[in-house]
Amino acid sequence: MLASVSAAPSQACTSFLLKARDGAPVYGRTMEYGLDLESAVLVAPRGYEYVAVRPNGGAGPRWRVRNAYVGVMSLGMPYVSDGLNEKGLAVGSLYLPGFAGYAAATPQNAASALAPWEVASWLLSNFSTVAEVKEALKTVEIAGLSTPGLNFVLPLHFTIHDASGASLVVEPVDGTLKLHDNPLGVLTNSPTFDWHLTNLRNYLKLSPVAAPPLVINGETFAPIGEGSGLLGVPGDVTPPSRFIRALGFAMSAEPGADGPATVRVAEHVANNFDIPDGFVRDRAKGSPRETTQWTAIADLRARKYYVKTYFDQTLRQIDLMSFDLDAKALRIAPLKPLAAPPALAFPAP
């Protein structure tokens, strides 16, 4: 059963896409939240039936999984906030506070409109490519329904990538779904995606290449140390700053030869957005402190999903294609804290 908890901030999620030298797309993201999400990794097989129940006890949408998928679920609900399916489609849910505006929840759409927390699982269950997602979203509504156990409406937008490297951002604004092709592959939080694209114009001179020396009246001033081309990169954890920083890493990080090699690159990029407990605090005394609860990485071609947590920084692999994708039940693995770092093994003398 879900315990009832009050609203908690989750405004620091960061996502990005890298491409290996052979073109394999690798997606990474962090999940921040102000309370323990009791996260677990879920594998949903083909044929599993989702039967949504609405807060008033009425019936919501129902669907069967066409494409098996793996992802991270929270608070005991079999819906994922992030995941990868057997066709190489990846979907991530990120916060959009102050800007997300859903369709009204009414008796007329109760059985058809998706709830915000159901969207990622619905997309992963049913579709293979960004192009299919675009067409499907023309026919659905996302309604402003309160999340069971949280008792408030999650203000979400969604980042979507497929095995071809195509990327899409989906944002509910003023009751309608806004779809943005995303050639940058990056998404953070508020404001909306189009605002971040405009803000990018403030950082056009940033470069991973060192700045040249400056000569004034015959006097030469050389950069102090490395990274002079990156002077001005914002270092705080606000969504606009993280968007610019994530884009800088995604553009400049040297990719690996293939997907597996680029997974390690993605891990290093994601490490730059890790928030330790206490670094981000609300002014209200006793309010939840936002931390990076887990980091996920997906190799879209290999159909391999990776995850590590705040208390276990070892990156764990879930090979989706190694599971029985026609199994009769969900497979769930809790993400338990690691009591102590594992010992380093030395060869026998």
**Could you write out the DSSP letters of every residue in 245-296?**
HHHHHHHHSPP-SSHHHHHHHHHHHHHTT---TTSS--SSTTPPPPEEEEEE
286: tokens are: 């006793």
DSSP string, 32-86: EESS----EEEEEPTTPEEEEE-TTS-EEEEEE-SS-EEEEE-TT-S-EEEEEET
- Within 13 A of 105's CA, how many CA atoms are on the CB side? 17
pLDDT confidence of 331, banded at 50, 70, 90? very high
- The rounded distance, in Å, linking the Cα atoms of 85 and 293 is 22
Give me the percent of the chain exceeding a pLDDT of 70: 96
Q: How far is CA 64 from CA 16, 84, 123, 127, in A?
A: 29, 17, 11, 12
Question: Amino acid identity, residue 161?
Answer: H
Q: Average of pLDDT values for 46-73?
A: 92
* Residue 10 pLDDT: 54
Residue-wise pLDDT tens digits, 154-195: 999 999 999 999 999 999 999 999 999 999 999 999 999 999
Q: Average of pLDDT values for 288-310?
A: 95
pLDDT at 280 over 90: no
pLDDT at 285 over 90: no
DSSP 140: -
Q: Average of pLDDT values for 230-235?
A: 92
Mean pLDDT (the chain, rounded): 93
Residue 289: alpha-carbon gap to chain centroid: 20
- The rounded distance, in Å, linking the Cα atoms of 77 and 234 is 36
pLDDT confidence of 144, banded at 50, 70, 90? very high
Give me the percent of the chain exceeding a pLDDT of 90: 80
pLDDT at 203 over 90: yes
* Residue 7 pLDDT: 47
Taken in order 184, 187, 188, 191, is the CA torsion positive or negative?
Answer: positive
Query: Cβ–Cβ contacts within 10 Å for residue 322, how many?
Result: 11
